[in-house]
Amino acid sequence: MKVLLITIDGPSGAGKTTVSRLVAERLGYTYVDTGALYRAVALVALSEGCEPNDDERLDKICGHLVLRFENGSQGSRLYANRDDITEDIRTQEIGMFASAISARSAVRKYLLGVQREMGKSGCVVFEGRDMGTVVFPWADIKFYLDADLDTRAQRRYRELAARHERTSLAEVREAMKKRDNDDSIRTLSPLRPAHDAIRIDSTSLDIDQVVEVILSHIRECVK
Ligand code: DC
Protein backbone atom coordinates (compact mmCIF):
# COMPACT_ATOMS: atom_id res chain seq x y z
CA MET A 1 0.00 0.00 0.00
CA LYS A 2 1.25 3.46 -0.86
CA VAL A 3 0.40 6.11 1.68
CA LEU A 4 -1.22 9.09 0.01
CA LEU A 5 -3.06 10.93 2.70
CA ILE A 6 -1.94 11.36 6.32
CA THR A 7 -3.88 13.27 8.97
CA ILE A 8 -2.56 14.65 12.25
CA ASP A 9 -5.18 16.06 14.62
CA GLY A 10 -5.00 17.29 18.18
CA PRO A 11 -5.36 20.28 20.51
CA SER A 12 -3.32 23.47 20.26
CA GLY A 13 0.29 23.35 21.36
CA ALA A 14 0.62 19.58 21.02
CA GLY A 15 3.42 20.11 18.50
CA LYS A 16 1.31 19.26 15.44
CA THR A 17 2.61 22.04 13.22
CA THR A 18 6.33 21.36 13.58
CA VAL A 19 5.86 17.60 13.58
CA SER A 20 3.57 17.60 10.55
CA ARG A 21 5.95 19.82 8.60
CA LEU A 22 8.91 17.56 9.37
CA VAL A 23 7.01 14.37 8.59
CA ALA A 24 5.93 15.84 5.24
CA GLU A 25 9.51 16.92 4.51
CA ARG A 26 10.91 13.48 5.29
CA LEU A 27 8.34 11.83 3.00
CA GLY A 28 8.59 14.44 0.25
CA TYR A 29 4.89 15.20 0.78
CA THR A 30 2.98 18.48 0.81
CA TYR A 31 2.05 19.83 4.23
CA VAL A 32 -1.23 21.64 4.87
CA ASP A 33 -1.80 23.54 8.12
CA THR A 34 -5.60 23.77 8.21
CA GLY A 35 -5.59 25.89 11.39
CA ALA A 36 -3.96 28.58 9.24
CA LEU A 37 -7.01 28.48 6.94
CA TYR A 38 -9.38 29.08 9.89
CA ARG A 39 -7.06 31.85 11.08
CA ALA A 40 -7.16 33.40 7.59
CA VAL A 41 -10.97 33.56 7.62
CA ALA A 42 -10.77 34.99 11.16
CA LEU A 43 -8.30 37.69 10.08
CA VAL A 44 -10.48 38.82 7.20
CA ALA A 45 -13.69 38.69 9.28
CA LEU A 46 -12.08 40.63 12.12
CA SER A 47 -10.67 43.28 9.78
CA GLU A 48 -14.18 43.76 8.35
CA GLY A 49 -15.71 44.13 11.82
CA CYS A 50 -17.76 40.94 11.43
CA GLU A 51 -19.19 39.41 14.63
CA PRO A 52 -18.13 35.76 15.07
CA ASN A 53 -21.76 34.55 15.03
CA ASP A 54 -22.94 36.59 12.04
CA ASP A 55 -23.51 33.64 9.69
CA GLU A 56 -24.78 35.73 6.81
CA ARG A 57 -21.70 37.94 6.76
CA LEU A 58 -19.34 35.04 7.27
CA ASP A 59 -20.94 33.31 4.32
CA LYS A 60 -20.41 36.42 2.18
CA ILE A 61 -16.80 36.81 3.33
CA CYS A 62 -16.05 33.17 2.46
CA GLY A 63 -17.75 33.63 -0.92
CA HIS A 64 -15.21 36.32 -1.83
CA LEU A 65 -12.16 34.66 -0.34
CA VAL A 66 -9.53 32.72 -2.26
CA LEU A 67 -6.98 31.02 -0.02
CA ARG A 68 -3.81 29.44 -1.30
CA PHE A 69 -0.45 28.27 -0.03
CA GLU A 70 2.54 29.15 -2.16
CA ASN A 71 6.03 27.74 -1.83
CA GLY A 72 8.82 30.26 -2.24
CA SER A 73 12.29 31.09 -0.98
CA GLN A 74 10.79 31.88 2.46
CA GLY A 75 9.02 28.53 2.70
CA SER A 76 5.27 28.08 2.52
CA ARG A 77 3.32 31.37 2.48
CA LEU A 78 -0.43 31.77 2.88
CA TYR A 79 -2.32 34.23 0.69
CA ALA A 80 -5.86 35.55 1.23
CA ASN A 81 -6.80 36.83 -2.22
CA ARG A 82 -3.66 38.86 -3.04
CA ASP A 83 -2.39 39.47 0.49
CA ASP A 84 0.40 37.51 2.11
CA ILE A 85 -1.02 36.92 5.61
CA THR A 86 1.48 34.29 6.80
CA GLU A 87 2.64 36.27 9.84
CA ASP A 88 -0.50 38.31 10.53
CA ILE A 89 -2.55 35.25 11.50
CA ARG A 90 -0.20 34.14 14.28
CA THR A 91 -1.49 36.24 17.18
CA GLN A 92 -3.40 35.00 20.19
CA GLU A 93 -6.35 37.25 19.28
CA ILE A 94 -6.65 35.66 15.84
CA GLY A 95 -6.36 32.20 17.42
CA MET A 96 -9.32 32.89 19.71
CA PHE A 97 -11.38 34.43 16.89
CA ALA A 98 -10.53 31.48 14.63
CA SER A 99 -11.84 29.13 17.29
CA ALA A 100 -15.09 31.14 17.53
CA ILE A 101 -15.78 31.26 13.78
CA SER A 102 -14.74 27.62 13.35
CA ALA A 103 -17.97 26.67 15.13
CA ARG A 104 -20.05 28.30 12.34
CA SER A 105 -21.39 26.14 9.52
CA ALA A 106 -20.73 28.72 6.76
CA VAL A 107 -17.02 28.68 7.58
CA ARG A 108 -16.72 24.91 8.02
CA LYS A 109 -18.60 24.27 4.78
CA TYR A 110 -16.37 26.67 2.85
CA LEU A 111 -13.14 25.26 4.27
CA LEU A 112 -14.28 21.66 3.79
CA GLY A 113 -14.29 22.34 0.05
CA VAL A 114 -10.95 24.18 0.15
CA GLN A 115 -9.28 21.36 2.10
CA ARG A 116 -10.67 18.53 -0.01
CA GLU A 117 -9.52 20.34 -3.13
CA MET A 118 -6.01 20.58 -1.64
CA GLY A 119 -6.10 16.84 -0.88
CA LYS A 120 -6.97 15.78 -4.41
CA SER A 121 -3.39 15.45 -5.59
CA GLY A 122 -2.51 13.01 -2.79
CA CYS A 123 0.81 12.70 -0.93
CA VAL A 124 -0.29 15.28 1.65
CA VAL A 125 0.02 15.58 5.42
CA PHE A 126 -3.02 17.45 6.75
CA GLU A 127 -2.85 18.93 10.22
CA GLY A 128 -5.91 20.16 12.14
CA ARG A 129 -8.77 19.20 14.44
CA ASP A 130 -11.19 17.21 12.27
CA MET A 131 -8.97 15.93 9.47
CA GLY A 132 -9.35 12.25 10.35
CA THR A 133 -12.95 12.46 11.53
CA VAL A 134 -14.75 14.70 9.03
CA VAL A 135 -12.61 16.09 6.20
CA PHE A 136 -10.72 12.92 5.27
CA PRO A 137 -12.32 9.98 7.07
CA TRP A 138 -10.81 7.83 4.29
CA ALA A 139 -7.21 8.94 5.06
CA ASP A 140 -4.60 6.19 4.83
CA ILE A 141 -3.10 6.83 8.28
CA LYS A 142 -4.46 9.02 11.07
CA PHE A 143 -2.66 10.34 14.12
CA TYR A 144 -3.94 12.16 17.18
CA LEU A 145 -1.23 14.13 18.93
CA ASP A 146 -1.76 15.32 22.49
CA ALA A 147 0.22 16.55 25.51
CA ASP A 148 -0.74 17.76 28.97
CA LEU A 149 -2.05 21.33 29.26
CA ASP A 150 0.96 22.78 31.12
CA THR A 151 3.42 21.43 28.56
CA ARG A 152 1.33 22.73 25.66
CA ALA A 153 0.92 26.16 27.27
CA GLN A 154 4.67 26.45 27.85
CA ARG A 155 5.39 25.57 24.21
CA ARG A 156 2.88 28.12 22.91
CA TYR A 157 4.13 30.78 25.34
CA ARG A 158 7.71 30.33 24.08
CA GLU A 159 6.47 30.69 20.47
CA LEU A 160 4.55 33.89 21.22
CA ALA A 161 7.42 35.35 23.29
CA ALA A 162 9.81 34.66 20.41
CA ARG A 163 7.52 36.80 18.25
CA HIS A 164 7.55 39.49 20.96
CA GLU A 165 3.82 39.17 21.66
CA ARG A 166 3.08 40.68 25.07
CA THR A 167 1.47 37.97 27.17
CA SER A 168 2.12 35.79 30.23
CA LEU A 169 2.30 32.04 30.66
CA ALA A 170 -0.84 32.11 32.86
CA GLU A 171 -2.76 34.05 30.18
CA VAL A 172 -1.65 31.65 27.43
CA ARG A 173 -2.64 28.65 29.60
CA GLU A 174 -6.13 30.06 30.27
CA ALA A 175 -6.71 31.02 26.62
CA MET A 176 -5.56 27.58 25.49
CA LYS A 177 -7.79 25.81 28.01
CA LYS A 178 -10.81 27.81 26.86
CA ARG A 179 -10.03 27.34 23.17
CA ASP A 180 -9.57 23.56 23.50
CA ASN A 181 -12.77 23.30 25.50
CA ASP A 182 -14.71 25.36 22.92
CA ASP A 183 -13.21 23.34 20.06
CA SER A 184 -14.15 20.07 21.80
CA ILE A 185 -17.74 20.86 22.77
CA ARG A 186 -18.92 22.56 19.56
CA THR A 187 -21.60 20.71 17.65
CA LEU A 188 -19.92 20.85 14.24
CA SER A 189 -16.79 18.73 13.76
CA PRO A 190 -15.61 18.87 17.38
CA LEU A 191 -12.01 18.14 18.27
CA ARG A 192 -11.77 14.42 19.05
CA PRO A 193 -9.64 11.49 17.94
CA ALA A 194 -10.94 9.43 15.01
CA HIS A 195 -11.78 5.89 16.17
CA ASP A 196 -8.98 4.54 13.98
CA ALA A 197 -6.37 7.19 14.87
CA ILE A 198 -3.00 6.27 16.38
CA ARG A 199 -2.77 8.29 19.59
CA ILE A 200 0.55 9.81 20.64
CA ASP A 201 1.20 11.68 23.88
CA SER A 202 4.07 14.11 23.29
CA THR A 203 4.34 15.38 26.91
CA SER A 204 7.70 13.77 27.53
CA LEU A 205 8.88 13.44 23.94
CA ASP A 206 10.82 15.99 21.93
CA ILE A 207 9.94 16.87 18.34
CA ASP A 208 12.42 14.43 16.78
CA GLN A 209 11.11 11.58 18.89
CA VAL A 210 7.50 12.28 17.87
CA VAL A 211 8.52 12.48 14.21
CA GLU A 212 10.30 9.12 14.55
CA VAL A 213 7.28 7.48 16.19
CA ILE A 214 5.03 8.73 13.38
CA LEU A 215 7.44 7.67 10.63
CA SER A 216 7.81 4.22 12.14
CA HIS A 217 4.02 3.76 12.11
CA ILE A 218 3.95 4.91 8.48
CA ARG A 219 6.76 2.49 7.56
CA GLU A 220 4.83 -0.34 9.26
CA CYS A 221 1.74 0.61 7.29
CA VAL A 222 3.39 0.63 3.85
CA LYS A 223 5.33 -2.62 4.37
O1 DC B 1 -4.26 24.99 14.86
P2 DC B 1 -4.60 26.46 15.16
O3 DC B 1 -4.35 26.84 16.58
O4 DC B 1 -3.91 27.37 14.20
O5 DC B 1 -6.19 26.58 14.89
C6 DC B 1 -6.93 27.75 15.13
C7 DC B 1 -8.39 27.39 15.36
O8 DC B 1 -8.97 26.92 14.14
C9 DC B 1 -8.66 26.29 16.38
O10 DC B 1 -8.85 26.80 17.69
C11 DC B 1 -9.90 25.62 15.89
C12 DC B 1 -9.93 25.90 14.41
N13 DC B 1 -9.64 24.72 13.60
C14 DC B 1 -10.68 23.85 13.35
O15 DC B 1 -11.79 24.05 13.86
N16 DC B 1 -10.49 22.80 12.52
C17 DC B 1 -9.29 22.56 11.97
N18 DC B 1 -9.13 21.51 11.16
C19 DC B 1 -8.20 23.42 12.25
C20 DC B 1 -8.40 24.48 13.09
Classify residue 217: in a domain, yes or no: no
The domain tally of the chain equals 1
Given this model, what pLDDT does residue 2 score? 72
Q: With cut-offs at 50, 70 and 90, classify the pLDDT of residue 160.
A: confident
Q: Over 70: is that where the pLDDT of 204 sits?
A: yes
Q: What is the pLDDT of residues 68-115, one digit of tens each?
A: 999 877 788 999 999 999 999 999 899 999 999 999 999 999 999 999
Classify residue 77: in a domain, yes or no: yes
Torsion angle in degrees (nearest 10) through CA of 44, 5, 206, 177? 40
Cα separation, 167 vs 184, in Å, equals 24
Classify residue 158: in a domain, yes or no: yes
Given this model, what pLDDT does residue 121 score? 85
Mutate to test the pocket of ligand 1, among 58, 67, 102 (most ligand atoms within 8 A of CB): 102
Percent of the chain residues past pLDDT 70, beyond the cut: 99
Tell me which residue range forms the domain holding 99. 5-211
Ligand 1 centroid to residue 151 C-alpha, Å: 19
Closest residue by CA, ligand 1 atom 16: 129
Percent of the chain residues past pLDDT 90, beyond the cut: 82
Ligand 1 centroid to residue 1 C-alpha, Å: 30
Q: Over 90: is that where the pLDDT of 188 sits?
A: no
Classify residue 62: in a domain, yes or no: yes
- CA distances 191 to 60, 64, 107, 144, Å, are 26, 27, 16, 10
Q: What is the 3-state secondary structure (H, E, C) of 144-211?
A: EEECCHHHHHHHHHHHHHHCCCCCCHHHHHHHHHHHHHHHHHCCCCCCCCCCCCEEEECCCCCHHHHH
Buried b (16+ CB within 10 A) or exposed e, 126-164: bbbbbbbbbbbeebbbbbbbbbeeebbbebbbeebeeee
Ligand 1 centroid to residue 98 C-alpha, Å: 7
- CA distances 127 to 81, 132, 180, 217, Å, are 22, 9, 16, 17
Closest residue by CA, ligand 1 atom 15: 102
Nearest atom in ligand 1 to the alpha carbon of residue 189 is: 15
Q: Over 80: is that where the pLDDT of 152 sits?
A: yes
Given this model, what pLDDT does residue 147 score? 95
Q: What is the pLDDT of residues 15-66, one digit of tens each?
A: 999 999 999 999 999 999 999 999 999 999 999 999 999 999 999 999 999 9
Q: With cut-offs at 50, 70 and 90, classify the pLDDT of residue 164.
A: confident
Given this model, what pLDDT does residue 76 score? 87
Classify residue 219: in a domain, yes or no: no
CATH code of the domain containing 57: 3.40.50.300
Say if pTM beats, i.e. exceeds, 0.85. yes
Q: Over 70: is that where the pLDDT of 165 sits?
A: yes
Ligand 1 centroid to residue 221 C-alpha, Å: 28
Given this model, what pLDDT does residue 3 score? 65
Given this model, what pLDDT does residue 149 score? 96
The β-bridge partners of 75 are 72
Mutate to test the pocket of ligand 1, among 8, 110, 183 (most ligand atoms within 8 A of CB): 183
At 75, give phi and psi (nearest 5°).
85, -160
